Structure 1
Amino acid sequence: MAKKIPTALGVLILLGGLIAGVVLVNNRQGLLTKAGPTEAPKNVKISDRGANTFTVSWTTDTPVTGYLSYSENPAKITTPAGDIRDQISGSSQGYTNHYVKVTGLNPDKTVYFVIGSGSQTYDDSGKPFEVRTGQQVIAPPEDVITGRIIGADSSPVNNAIVYVEVQGGETLSAMTNNGSWRLNLALSRDKNGAVLTYDPKVSLVSIFVQAGISGTATAITNTEKTKPVPDIVLGKNQSFVETTVATESGTLVEPDIKSGGFKNITEEAAPILAPEATEAAGSMIITNPAINGEMIATSSPEFAGKTTPGTTIRVTVNSPIELTQIIKADKDGIWKWTPPQDLEPGVHTLTLEYTDENNIFQKVIRTFTVLASDGTAGLPAFTATPSATVTISPVSPTGTASATPTPTKEPSMPATSSGTLEETGALDFTILMGMLGIILFVFGRTSKKWWRD
């Protein structure tokens, strides 16, 4: 019996190594697949597109350093651009909202870039992000608008990103300094890159505030009420312009304005509507979501539909944070809108408010469900167009740059590979234990022959 101990021991070690390897693989994969805060960019937006400049901003779950690498050559994206706060302070800091302004570009050129967030770089689903600079134009006279972002306790909100869109124009942006912000509305361009023509008194202006982990806010005003824009309160959705609503008798009236000259959209008295008004009203058609309760496989859906050409629509998504914006149907009656930030998984409500061709206020409500990322295979995504939120994915780092920026040179943080997922399992351990078991197995067979001899 003693002569068989090495053989049995080898078999036991072989089996033990295989079992231990399988257990470790399963445990390791379970740890890596747990969701949690990440450095990955979210809510990526491009704004301030001009002949020589553009701005990229995004948010992260945790405070990390942020930067861009950009170039006109997609094969050599190496020019760094750092967060404007780091350029001013001369040192790299971690933020949850990131704001990088790229300047000194050539007009009417495509610029490629990747986002550096923490220790990893990210691109647009396997390819660089890209943006085309505008054509050189004669600058119109300045039209500076200002405002303040405050918290619920009326304290100023610092380092919040303010996105501004005048009706028919692309997005402009600014960052608050001690709660205050300002930007030149005359820099607005239309979708074709031409200088935007707008009415200095009645053109609608949509404002979205992104303050990272501190929260968001939305507001609607017009060009007459932008010098300054009334205070915008973080966590609220506010309207600084009056809206006509229909009473029971069908008469159009102006709702009362609360103290301070504005009202919260969520506090407005809802107009009385016929039961069918929640599905369709007037000439409004919604193509996405096409039906009530539709399941959508993206956190950044593009809502779309068709109505009377030129109709002004107030679009609202009722989520944990209500998001609102004024849009306008094009000459063919087509309208599209993407929320300025990602939607959480779960049930949401899309509300459209507008005045139809008979000058009657209408309200259309449709529900939809945003699915969690692990259960979306085979379902329609209806993802946003490139001008809205973009999809990001990690890429292998390409070189390093100085970790500390200076006011005269835009910074770039080191792009190491520590942000990539590690290889799952414990394959090396399994192979080692398996080989050891085989060796002992062979040794046992050989020693058995020796003992007999």
Structure 2
Amino acid sequence: MAYSDLFIGSGNKKIPTLLGLFVVIFIVFLFLNILNRSAIPSKASKSNIRRIEVTNLSPIQVTIYWQGQDKEMGWIVYGEKSDALVNIALDNRDVNEKKSPYLNHYVTLRNLKPGVHYYYAVISQNQKIVRPDGSFFEFTTPLVSSAKTKIDPATGKVLNANLSPLVNATVLLYVDEKTVPLSTLTKDSGEWLIPLNSFYDKSTLEEKSFSGEEKARIEIINEEAEMSSIVNKLKDLSLSAETIIIGKNYDFTQDADVLSASTGFKNNRNESEIRIIYPEENSLIPGRKPLIKGISLPNEEVFITINSNKTYSARIISDKNGNWNYLVPEDLDLGLHTITIKTKDNNGKEVTILRSFTIVANEGNEGKVLGTASGEPTIVISPTAIPPTSYSYPTLTPTAAPPVSGIASTWSIIGAISFLIIGGGILLVF
């Protein structure tokens, strides 16, 4: 009886092992590539964010801040080539790849290479956010960091209107338009800190050195789009912490006349008025170390007494413009306190002024307090401002769980193992 070659197996030849392995590897690579592309939506959008900025630039990392139109989940995809954005970085506040919706997004890209140009896009609502012209955002890391600026860190504290700490608010620090800004997030206590050592030029990437006399502006933005701004010299941002109420603005570079006008206190030098600028009478202080400020005759002695469970006294000399201030050296107890100042007027007569205020929150050693809950005399008060709907694009250019880099994920690993098993089975069968 004749049997076919197919039946007796004489024509059944095995696929060479090397060829089989090549087929398996090719299938796995193709599968991973599909997974990687699925993490980057192909649909591009150009108008889903209000602003975007590169901050905290250094040779090995950078932080991208952007504000969306609404609270939504978002992350960054980036890479050294515009056609290979193979790295993923989540928001600093996202933990274990569990994404949360934010209005203000804060993503740190780590383990970068010095002197390398990077491209990136924002992923939000399953859309890829790019520049208006359709190109990717980009930045370049500097080659070196030598910490040329020797200024103590800028610090502060932010409270909500109900005096509770403002948590996870974005803090941005600007020196000028040519310098890459710095940034951080507020802690659970509402406190924040920004080192003032490394500043880079946006265009040349050269490290800049500041003396501390330069004017700086700080923006603090919460998740309800309320914003506060603080203007001061760089060196004065580090002298002691500022406790502020979100939604109020402060400018400490104004002279005494502007200060008194903006706080509602008339300062007519001709009438030689002597004032306590703040705290205001019967104000509520959301901190334990209030900063007392006032106006007297120029270069005149001012004697200050704070009546509390413990009495504090000091003798200070006003400056050439008549400005003086006194920072309480220790934490005050909760409750009512009274300030008494004594100084002389133009006629040499002693002038005594009393001022009462109340410590309402146990805020610890945060330093001088400038905000109150009852209409305190802040230096500049303006309506809450929301940043304009516009883009800020750098041409060149610390936390929770570290960002996810590359394309590794649970599903990709499972898929790869599955294809290896299938491929091995194919080899065994043939």
- How does the TM-score come out when normalised to structure 2? 0.50
TM-score (norm 1): 0.48
Higher relative helix content: 1
**If you compute each CA radius of gyration, which structure gives the higher value, 1 or 2?**
2
- Higher RCO structure (Cα 8 Å, ≥6 apart): 1
